[in-house]
C-alpha cells in the first residue's frame, strides 16, 4: 500500500492511498476535514484525482456538516464562561433597561446565570433572569429574548395577548425570530 499526501489546488490536503486490495475508488472525509482518496493498484493517480474533483460539491458539503457538528458540540471552558459572564453583565442589564424604557415596562432585578436549559425567565415578582449564553447569539436574537421576558412582566404566560404584545414590540417579527432562535442552543 502506497500512501502519499498532496496539496490539491481546490480540494486542499488529500491523502492518496493506493491499495492492491482496494476494488474501486473511494473518498472519505476525516473529522479534521482532510480527504482520503483510496484507489486500486490499476488506477493512476490522475484518474483517481479526476474522480475526487467530480465530487467537489460533496466534499465541501461534508466538510461543512463536520464543522457545524463540531460547533454545536462545543462545550465552553470555565474561562470562556467567565468571559461570557463579564460580557453579559456589561451588556444585558443595559439592554433590559433600554427596552423597558422604550416600551414602558417595569421590572425588578436583572440577574445573569449560567443557565443552559433556557435563555431567560421572568418571575412573578417581575425579576428577570438571563442566561450568560445569550452572548453567543447575534444581537437581534438577544433583543428578542430580552423583549420576550419584559413582555412577561405584563402577561405571565404565553397567551395570545402575550404574543400580540411581543409581536408589537418586535415590529411584527415575533414568530420569525422565535423560529430563528430554535436553531441556536446554549453552549
Ligand atoms: Zn416566555
What number of CA atoms fall less than 13 Å from residue 13's CA on the CB side? 8
Q: What is the pLDDT of residue 1?
A: 66
- Give the residue among 145, 119, 117, 149 at the shortest CA–CA distance from 133: 119
Q: 127 C-alpha vs ligand 1 centroid, how far in Å?
A: 13
Same domain, 28 and 95: no
- Going through the chain in order, the beta strands assigned E by DSSP cover 2-8, 12-19, 26-29, 35-40, 110-113, 120-122, 128-131
pLDDT in tens, 67-78: 777 666 667 788
In a domain, 187, yes or no: no
Cβ(53)–Cβ(10) under 8 Å?
Answer: yes
Which of the listed residues 27, 55, 73 is the one where a domain comes to its end?
73
pLDDT in tens, 111-166: 999 988 899 999 999 999 999 999 999 999 999 999 999 999 999 999 999 999 99
Region 87-112: mean pLDDT is 97
Least trusted range by pLDDT, from 19-23, 28-32, 73-77, 117-121: 73-77
Between CA 22 and CA 38 the distance in angstroms is 7
- Give the residue among 33, 125, 136 at the shortest CA–CA distance from 85: 136
Q: 73 C-alpha vs ligand 1 centroid, how far in Å?
A: 26
Q: How wide is the angle at C-alpha 81 spanned by C-alphas 75 and 82, nearest 5°?
A: 160
Cβ(45)–Cβ(16) under 8 Å?
Answer: yes
Q: What is the pLDDT of residue 138?
A: 93
Q: What is the pLDDT of residue 71?
A: 65
Same domain, 55 and 83: no
Q: 121 C-alpha vs ligand 1 centroid, how far in Å?
A: 7
Same domain, 141 and 173: yes
Structural domains counted in the chain: 2
Q: Which domain holds residue 110?
A: 78-182
Which of the listed residues 22, 40, 73 is the one where a domain comes to its end?
73
pLDDT in tens, 43-90: 999 999 999 999 999 999 988 887 777 666 667 788 889 999 999 999
Q: Which helix (DSSP H) or strand (DSSP E) does residue 185 occupy?
A: none
Confidence of residue 20 (pLDDT cuts 50, 70, 90): confident
Q: 102 C-alpha vs ligand 1 centroid, how far in Å?
A: 20
8-state DSSP, 136? G
pLDDT at 28 over 80: yes
8-state DSSP, 135? G
Q: Model pTM?
A: 0.62
Amino acid at each position: 500500500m502506497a500512501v502519499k499526501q498532496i496539496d490539491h489546488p481546490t480540494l486542499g490536503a488529500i491523502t492518496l492511498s493506493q491499495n492492491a486490495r482496494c476494488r474501486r475508488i473511494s473518498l472519505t472525509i476525516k473529522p479534521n476535514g482532510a480527504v482520503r482518496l483510496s484507489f486500486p493498484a490499476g488506477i493512476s493517480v490522475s484518474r483517481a484525482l479526476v474522480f475526487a474533483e467530480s465530487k467537489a460539491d460533496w466534499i465541501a458539503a461534508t466538510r461543512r456538516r463536520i464543522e457545524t457538528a463540531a460547533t454545536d458540540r462545543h462545550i465552553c471552558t470555565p474561562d470562556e464562561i467567565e468571559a461570557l459572564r463579564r460580557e453579559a453583565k456589561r451588556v444585558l442589564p443595559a439592554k433590559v433597561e433600554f427596552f423597558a424604557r422604550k416600551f414602558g415596562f417595569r421590572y425588578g432585578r436583572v440577574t445573569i446565570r449560567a443557565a443552559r436549559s433556557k435563555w431567560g425567565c421572568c418571575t412573578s415578582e417581575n425579576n428577570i433572569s438571563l442566561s450568560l449564553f445569550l452572548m453567543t447569539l447575534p444581537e437581534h436574537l438577544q433583543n428578542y429574548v430580552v423583549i420576550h421576558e419584559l413582555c412577561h412582566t405584563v402577561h405571565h404566560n404565553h397567551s395570545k395577548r402575550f404574543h400580540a404584545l411581543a409581536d408589537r414590540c418586535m415590529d411584527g417579527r415575533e414568530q420569525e425570530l422565535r423560529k430563528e432562535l430554535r436553531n441556536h442552543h446554549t453552549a
